[in-house]
Every structure is written in structure tokens, then in C-alpha cells.
Structure 1
């Protein structure tokens, strides 16, 4: 992974066809996705259960670029090595998921992954102020984690604060929740560069008809990049 602040679209496979994950990952990449976002949920930290390291390992050969694994689980530390071995490029843990987030971020980097830290909507930007030198990505949740398709919660002020805090450090700001051509410009303008989109990417398409994925990705990217035009 080379660092840059260009807009990156990261489709969430939470909105894909669960019976066809490998082909879905390949299809969205072929249609212009920059990263593939994998939402891991444990039914404990969040009220939903999705998938674990075995699923990540199964889809890894179908992903040419970045596999961005978002751990909505607690505890995190016992599972870091398994997700790293499954091929995660980025592993993101929630600051709210345990008492020792420094240890978690150190362990993620020690396992050979980029370290991400996520903030729930009710958690202030200042919660990561002392973590930035251990962090490669800050994920700002713009929905309450647990389910796809929720209504966007505007976190413009938080993203702007984070952007100021990060300064010239090589740290991505990722937005997860409710991203579409209407909300993407708000977050891009505030300083985000990685936009996670689930239903907004996968709607209208399928593995047998992937062209809508490309149209959806281009629409989100154009809306976000239009901020800088």
C-alpha cells in the first residue's frame, strides 16, 4: 500500500451476494473499486453477526488490491493474528472495543498490517489524539455500527477536527456509513479520502450484470472529487 490522499472507493461486501463473495469482490474491483471493505461483526460488540477469518482467507485470492478489514468485535486482540494470516492489508479496531487500544494497534502493526482505529458516532475525535503515531487510518462511523443501509449521521465537524489533528502524517480518514453521491462530497470536503459504500455500490447490479457497480462507483467518486474541481 502506497499512501496518497486521492479519493478511494471501498465497497462493503456486507451489501454483496453472500453466496458469491469471490466473484463479487472481483467484479467490484474490475468496475473500479480501490479497496474492498470487509465488515466483521460478532453479535456482541454490535447486534449482528457476519463473518470471520475463514471468509477473509477465502476471498483474499479474488482481491487484487487492498483488503480493508473492519473489526466490529470485542475483544479484538485474540483475533488479530488470524485476520492478518487471512490476508488483511488494513485491520481496524474500535477505540470503544477494549481498554488497551495502544496494545491493540501495536499488535496489528506487529502482525504486518496497517493499523486502523474506528470511532462510533458518539465518540469524539479527541479519543484518538494520543494514538495517531500508531495509526495508519482513522475510520469515522457515520452510522451506528451493526447493519448496512442505515441513514447517514453527519460527522463533518469530527472529520474536520481529525484532519487538523493528523496534519501531514500519512494517515487515511475513512468514512463508513451512508455514503452515496449526496453524502460523499460532505466528507471529502471535510478531509476524508476513503469512502466505504455498501448498498450505494451494489444496488442494481450482480455478478452477471456488474456494469451498475461501475456506474455507482463512478458516481460516488465524481461527486467526491468534484469538491476539489
Structure 2
């Protein structure tokens, strides 16, 4: 495969009692991005972490901090997560009344801007913002909880997005999140993804298994 495959372990599946150590361990094991799932209990039916945790984790890794904001409204918190140390801020079209303006703000903060497509969110949501996007995240589960089964309809969406990205000539990450494991990883990669978010599959087996888990995901299971 000509595109480099990057693995973004989701700390949602890490041991929260030892989160700094878990981030250091997954970093040392070969993670490319550290994926941070931020949930507000309103936009999605779960409650996780805020900017303070991102700030606390930032000294533990030099890897890209990939922050997925499952919060609504998202705009009031962009500055706080940027200041906390996020490198990528990804938002849902449904969580901002003015997606173009929100992406402009992320870029103005010096961060990479991502747009997240839920299973029922059409690819057309990106039609007028492709020039601002640095990452497109396809949700292959409904957002809110880890450990869900992969939704197969994400695959044709990934294929369409790969064609859209290639047509721009820009270096836009195509990331997939949800139900990624040794079986679904090669299918997502074959469809055109180049960043895989994996929580359970990355953190399974404890720190001694992390390097093997990441290597297996990277090479398509």
C-alpha cells in the first residue's frame, strides 16, 4: 500500500487509574497518534474527559494528540482544547451551526482541523469545506461507547471519501473509528483509510502486548 498506515489508539480503552503511564506505554509501542475521545453526555450518551486531562497527558507524549470532540456546541471549547495541547481537533457537522467558521477557528489556533461523519451523516456534508479539512473521520459505529461492532456501510463511504481526497491533491488523513480489530482493519485499509482508531484492539492484553497489537493493526491484521 502506497499510503503510510497510522494507528491511533483510543485512550477510552486505557486504564484510567494509570492514564499517563498508559499513554507512555502505547507511545513506546509504536502508536502514531494518541486518540482522545471527548464526550459530553449530551451530543453522545456518555461522559468522558475535558481539556484538563488533555493538558495533563500532553507532557507524557510527543506524538500527535488527536482529539475527537463529541460535544455540542463545540465552538466554545475549541480554544481550551487547543491550549491544552491538542494537535488535531475534529468536530461533527451536527455540533456546530457554522461548520466552515468552526474549521477556520481551529486553523487560526494553529491546529489541524477534522470533520467527523456519523454513520448517517452524508459525504456531502464536506462539499464546501474540503479546502479547510486536514482530517476526515468516518465513524463505523454510532459514537458514544467503545467496543461496538463495525457497521459495514462505512466501507463504501470510505471509498467515496478516498476518491474525494485524492481529487484535491492535498494531504488529508482518512481516519476510521469504531469496531476496528484484526478482522475489520484490513477491510478499512483496502477501502482507502490510512489512519485507524482502535481502543480495545490496541490495549488488549496489557502493556506487554501493545507493540504486537499495533503492528498487527498496521499490517492489516
Number of residue pairs aligned between Structure 1 and Structure 2: 217
Describe how 1:112-191 pairs up with structure 2 within 5 A.
Answer: 112-154=110-152, 155-167=154-166, 168-191=169-192
Equivalent-residue separation in structure 2 for 1:16 and 1:106 (angstroms): 32
Deviations along 1:139-191, one digit per CA (max 9) or x if unpaired, are 00000000000011121110111111112221100001111111111111111
Equivalent-residue separation in structure 2 for 1:185 and 1:126 (angstroms): 26
Q: Which moved more, 1:158-167 or 1:215-224?
A: 215-224
Partner of 1:195: 196
Point out where structure 1 has 5 or more consecutive residues left out of the alignment.
Answer: 225-229
Partner of 1:88: 86
Equivalent-residue separation in structure 2 for 1:190 and 1:129 (angstroms): 20
Equivalent-residue separation in structure 2 for 1:136 and 1:65 (angstroms): 17
What secondary structure does 2:220 align onto? helix
What secondary structure does 1:223 align onto? coil
The Cα shift of 1:68 comes to: 0.3
Equivalent-residue separation in structure 2 for 1:5 and 1:112 (angstroms): 25
Partner of 1:47: 45
What's the TM-score once normalised by structure 2's chain length? Answer: 0.96
Equivalent-residue separation in structure 1 for 2:184 and 2:61 (angstroms): 27
What's the TM-score once normalised by structure 1's chain length? Answer: 0.93
The Cα shift of 1:58 comes to: 0.1
- 2:75–2:96 CA contact under 8 A, matched in 1: no
Partner of 1:222: 219
Equivalent-residue separation in structure 2 for 1:222 and 1:194 (angstroms): 12
Equivalent-residue separation in structure 1 for 2:149 and 2:85 (angstroms): 31
Point out where structure 2 has 5 or more consecutive residues left out of the alignment.
Answer: none
- 1:13–1:25 CA contact under 8 A, matched in 2: yes
Partner of 2:70: 72
Deviations along 1:30-81, one digit per CA (max 9) or x if unpaired, are 0111110000000010000000000000000001110000000000111000
The Cα shift of 1:21 comes to: 0.9
Deviations along 1:111-144, one digit per CA (max 9) or x if unpaired, are 1110000000011112112111010000000000
Equivalent-residue separation in structure 1 for 2:171 and 2:57 (angstroms): 28
RMSD of aligned C-alpha atoms?
1.1
